[in-house]
Every structure is written in C-alpha cells, then in structure tokens.
Amino acid sequence: MVLAAGVATALHLGKLPPAVPILQAELGMTLVQAGFLLALIQFAGMCLGLVIGIGADGIGLRRSMVLGLGILSVAGVASGFTHHVGGLLVLRAVEGFGFLLATVPAPGLLRRIVPPHQATRILGFWGAYVPFGTAVGMLVGPRVLAASSWPVWWWVVAAATAVMAVAVWVRVPADPVRLGTGSAAVVPWRARAALTVRSRGPWLGALTFGVYAAQWMAVIGFLPTLYAESGWVGAVGATLTATVAAANVIGNVAAGFLLHRGWRPVLVLGLGFAGQAVGTFLAFATLTSGQPVLRYAGALVFSAVGGLIPGGIFGLAPTLAPSEPTISTTVGWIQQWSSAGQVIGPPVVAFLATLLGGWQWTWAFSLGCCLMGIALATRLGTFVRTRQS
C-alpha cells in the first residue's frame, strides 16, 4: 500500500507535461507560466523538505502520508474546476505541500512495517516511485486527454490518490503510541532539526542526491526537444520519453537488491554515476549526431543505470539518519536538496546549450555532476562502513 501510494503521488508529477499544450490553448497560459507550473512542486520541496520531515516525525508517519494524499486529492479536484492560470498555480503549490507530506515519511514507515532483514531491499523499491508514476502519467495522460478534457484527467489522478489515502489508512498499521524515550514525540523538533543538519550522514546523502537530480531533470526534461530534432514527435516522442523515465525503475530495484546482498554503497552509487556519464555522452555528444537509435540507447542507459543512485540513497536513509526519530527529517533534508538540484539543473543546461549553440556539450555538465557524485559516494561509503562497524 505504501509503495502504491508513492506511485499515486508521482502521477501528479506526470499528469502535467502531456497537458501543457492544451492548457496553453484553452487558458492562454504562456510558456513561462507553464514552466512555473512544472517547477512549483520542486520549489516546494526545495523550501520545505526539512520542515515537512520534522512534522512527519512529530505527527506520525501514517498520519502524515494520509494527510498528504488527502491534500493532493482535494487540490487536484479543485484544479479541475479552475479556469484561471493564477488559480492553477496556487493549487499546484498546494499539491507540492501534499506531495511532500505523503512521500517524506514513507522510508521511515516502510522500515517500521517490513521485517528488518528486508528493509534495505524494500527501500530500494521505494526509490522507483517517481519514475514509475511519472511514466504512467505520461503514457495514460495523452489518451485520457484525447478522449475527454484536462479537468477529467486531473480528476482521474485525484481519484486514484483518494483511493490510496483510504487504503493506507485501512491497511497500514497505525502509528504507535509515542511513550518511549527514543520517540519523536519526546524529542523537540528543534533538537531533531539541529541534530539532522549538524550530522554528516544527512549531508552526504542530500548532496549526493542533489547532483544526481540536477542532471536527471535536465536530461529527461530536454529529451522531447532532442527527439523532435530526430523526427520523433507527438505520441511517439511522449512514449519514448515515458519509457526512458520508466527505465529508472530498473536501477532503483537493483540497488535495493545489491545493498541487501552486501554490495558496498560506494560501488552501487559509483556505478550509477558512471552509467549517467556514459549515457549522457551517447545521448547528446556530437559523435552520435545523426544516429537517433544510439542516442535513445544512451538515454536508456542514463536512466536505468542512474537509477542505482536514488535506490541506493533511500536504501541507506536509516543508516544516514543520526537517530531513529530523525529518519523522516533526514529524508526531508535529502528531498530538499533533490528538489534544489531539479530546479537548478535544467536552467544551467539550457544556458550552456544557448551559449554553445546546441546540446552537444550537455554531457560535460553531466560528467561534472558525476565526478562530484563519485567523490561524495566515496565519503558516504566510508561513513556507512564506520557507522555499521
């Protein structure tokens, strides 16, 4: 139920890209406004990740997830009745708040409800919720939009989220009564925040995730443009982009299995960054110009092998957290830096493309991120080894 709820939240990320042209035509939305609409959830995460993590640790993990799913549902339904760009922007910001409330507590909740020896593997599965849900939205959205309208598509996604809110409330064990000395309820929120941001583990996880997310959003975001240059437009381009996003699930799931089998974190994360560097080179370099199939293969490598990184970070989140009551706070901090990377990465790549007259040096930006990521992964691996010894 928790994993399915994560996919339902990610539908709110994937529902928007297929609808942007329709919103521009029907509501007069400008390209700049569409960009803000796409980025508002990431802005919310960049500003509120740590705060939501603190709140989730305090009010209870299941309660936080159900509340977040409920907010997403209500905001989605209300958006369908809104026919003004300003209203959509406001409600998108509300969706961002609900998205964080629903997703930040999930790793701690999963760790609590699964057997300890399965925790790392299941947490790797959790890392796949964004690419899987986004891919589903990109595949299903165009078909619903072709058969009806964008409000109906918004309501379909809101209904799916509402169903998962009920399912989590009914099927997931209730939050325990917080009476123990180690519980979040008896640890003041200021102490949890201070402990998290002063500890090395959360910073290593957050910065590693940040350099991954920066290049992920930049590459995936500009793939449709690259495909258009190759003549892959319309439903074909949307399907290809969704497939690349879905390929990320492979790495996420593999990371959980590899960590569960005792692979060193530095090796799992290092392979992920190496795959991103190679994949981006194949997808964007001048050397592969005129070879669209090879470029598409590079994008698949970038996504599938790069998925080892989020799966690995989520799998290690309980180890990176300075204490049991700060797991969600740590995940919130990681989410905050992930969102920052997603906000910063695309404009940097777009600036490079404008300055240099094309996308051919996008791989250099990715290589820089990967080198930083490998350096951080090395330090993270040392930290985990010390923590577990």
More confident residue, 375 or 39: 375
Residue 179 clears pLDDT 60, i.e. is over it: no
pLDDT over 70 at 141, yes or no: yes
| pLDDT at site 178 | 58
Least confident of 95-104, 215-224, 264-273, 335-344: 215-224
Residue 184 has a pLDDT of: 46
Tell me which of 165 and 292 has the higher pLDDT: 165
pLDDT at residue 41 greater than cutoff 60: yes
Q: Is the pLDDT of residue 185 over 70?
A: no
Tens of pLDDT, residues 205-219:
999 999 998 888 777
Confidence at residue 226, expressed as pLDDT on a 0 to 100 scale: 66
What does pTM read for this prediction? 0.80
The predicted structure's pLDDT at residue 156: 97
Count CB neighbours of 120 within 10 A.
Answer: 26
The CATH topology of domain 2-388 is Growth Hormone; Chain: A; (1.20.1250)
CB-neighbour burial class of residue 163 (10 A; exposed 0-12, middle 13-18, buried 19+): middle
Of all residues in the chain, the percent with pLDDT exceeding 90 is 37
Most confident of 178-182, 239-243, 267-271, 342-346: 267-271
Q: Quick one: pLDDT at residue 31?
A: 62
Nearest of 11, 274, 249, 311 to residue 139 by alpha carbon = 11
Query: Does pLDDT of 64 surpass 90?
Result: yes
Residue 235 pLDDT level (bands cut at 50, 70, 90): low
Confidence of residue 16 (pLDDT cuts 50, 70, 90): confident
Residue 320 CB burial class (10 angstroms; 0-12, 13-18, ≥19):
buried
Q: How far apart are CA 309 and CA 273, in angstroms?
A: 7
Q: Of 68-72, 144-148, 234-238, 362-366, which one has max mean pLDDT?
A: 68-72
User: What pLDDT is stored for residue 43 in this prediction?
Assistant: 79
Half-sphere exposure of residue 41, counting CA atoms within 13 Å on the CB side? 23
Q: Which of 4-18, 151-165, 179-193 shows the lowest mean pLDDT across its residues?
A: 179-193
SS (H, E, C) the chain: CHHHHHHHHHHHHHCCHHHHHHHHHHHCCCHHHHHHHHHHHHHHHHHHHHHHHHHHHHHCHHHHHHHHHHHHHHHHHHHHCCCCHHHHHHHHHHHHHHHHHHHCCHHHHHHHHCCHHHHHHHHHHHCCHHHHHHHHHHHHHHHHHHHCCHHHHHHHHHHHHHHHHHHHHHHCCCCCCCCCCCCHHHCCHHHHHHHHHCCHHHHHHHHHHHHHHHHHHHHHHHHHHHHHHCCCCHHHHHHHHHHHHHHHHHHHHHHHHHHHCCCCHHHHHHHHHHHHHHHHHHHHCHHHCCCHHHHHHHHHHHHHHHCHHHHHHHHHHHHHCCCHHHHHHHHHHHHHHHHHHHHHHHHHHHHHHHHHCCCCCHHHHHHHHHHHHHHHHHHHHHHHHHHHC
Residue-level pLDDT at 279 = 92
Task: List the single range of 26-35, 76-85, 180-189, 373-382 with lowest mean pLDDT.
Answer: 180-189
Tell whether the model's pLDDT for residue 128 goes beyond 90. Answer: no
What is the overall mean pLDDT for the chain?
86
Q: What pLDDT does 35 receive?
A: 66
| Residue boundaries of the structural domains of the chain | 2-388
Residue 37 above 80 pLDDT?
no
**Half-sphere exposure in the Cβ direction for 206 (13 Å, CA):** 26
